[in-house]
Amino acid sequence: MGIGELYPAWGQTVTIAMMAVALGMDAFSLGVGIGMKGIRLLHVLQMSLLIALFHVLMPLVGLLTGSYVGQLLGQVTAYAAGGLLVLLGAHMLYNSFRSNTAGPVRAVNHRTFLGMLLISLSVSIDSFSVGVSLGMFVNSVLITVLAFGVCGGLMAITGLLLGRHVSRSLGEYGEALGGAILLGFGLLFIF
């Protein structure tokens, strides 16, 4: 049973939009932390564009992989996709409450191109896993990857700019919210 059979077309669009925002929360929370360290506006734009690009590429590869896996799994597709989202959401929630949420990313110099590339890749890895889940039953690949890219880029630029002006705790709550949304959708797919 595909997501199109569970929900009307508008339901699938809303689901994709909410997942795109949930995945963008990771970029937002990291952006707040980096923005607090100080970042030039040119670097804000560059990093946001890189994050948007990776938020398109990673779920695209995931969607293609998930489509293939979905054909192999048949009836258990919704359970596998839901399980993957539950694990990813739980992982994001767990990381949001750890004291060192950025891990090795904090050691990366965000002012260099290589640093921006590594940071962009690190916040986009989750998009691959969600892409695998959605690839098992999503209908519109183009709309999905564009939604992920636009949300990832916008959330990154918002986080980076806000990080110059607000406290670090806002970013931690953003990642927790994103994890809770993915966890909720995973449970919805399973049950």
* Count of structural domains, the chain: 1
pLDDT of residue 78: 66
The pLDDT of 44-50, averaged and rounded, is 93
Is 1 part of any domain?
A: no
CA distance 74 to 93: 30
Under 8 Å between Cβ of 164 and 48: no
Is 137 part of any domain?
A: yes
CA distance 150 to 143: 10
In this predicted structure, which of 48-57, 137-146, 165-174 has the lowest mean pLDDT? Answer: 165-174
Is 2 part of any domain?
A: no
Tell me the pLDDT tens digit for each residue of 103-142. 445 556 777 888 888 888 888 888 888 888 777 777 788 8
Is 113 part of any domain?
A: yes
Contacts of 128 (CB under 8 A, 6+ apart): 58, 59, 61, 62
Q: Which residue has the higher pLDDT, 89 or 100?
A: 89
Q: Which residue has the higher pLDDT, 84 or 153?
A: 153
Nearest to 43 by CA among 121, 113, 120: 113
Tell me the pLDDT tens digit for each residue of 32-41. 878 877 788 8
CA distance 42 to 47: 9
Q: How far apart are the first and last CA of the chain?
A: 13
Under 8 Å between Cβ of 86 and 183: yes
Nearest to 132 by CA among 93, 87, 92: 87
Under 8 Å between Cβ of 182 and 175: no
Q: Residue 77 CA to chain centroid, in angstroms?
A: 21
Which residues form the domain of 44?
Answer: 7-190
pLDDT of 44 over the 50 cut:
yes
pTM: 0.72
Under 8 Å between Cβ of 109 and 53: no
Is 53 part of any domain?
A: yes
Tell me the pLDDT tens digit for each residue of 52-87. 999 999 999 988 888 787 777 766 666 776 777 787
pLDDT of 173 over the 50 cut:
yes
